[in-house]
Amino acid sequence: MTKDPVCGNGPAMSSLKERLNRAQNTSMKLFGIMEAIDFLDNESACAGGKTVLIGVATEMAHSLNIELDSVNFPEVVE
């Protein structure tokens, strides 16, 4: 984690907002994939596609976890 404080309207705050925006976009996509997996599971359909989607969802969840790791966030001062 960087120890440099961040001004509420400085470049580091912009970077933090961009990081959170990317994370939110990823979480929306991940939610859609999870809905598709649930549907395929309930219909007992497309086992191969379901397996691929589970792999994609796992990778996305791991990336999201790294993206949201607060250790990588700048310190924000108000």
What share of the chain has pLDDT > 70, as a percent?
77
**Are the beta carbons of 6 and 76 closer than 8 angstroms?**
yes
In 10 A of CB 6, how many CB atoms? Answer: 19
CA 61 – CA 78 distance, rounded (Å) = 31
Residue 47, Ramachandran bin (φ over 0: left; ψ between -120 and 50: alpha; else beta): alpha
Q: What pLDDT band is residue 1 in, cutting at 50, 70 and 90?
A: very low
The mean pLDDT of 41-59, rounded to a whole number, is 94
Structure tokens at 34: 């999870």
Q: Which amino acid is at 74?
A: P
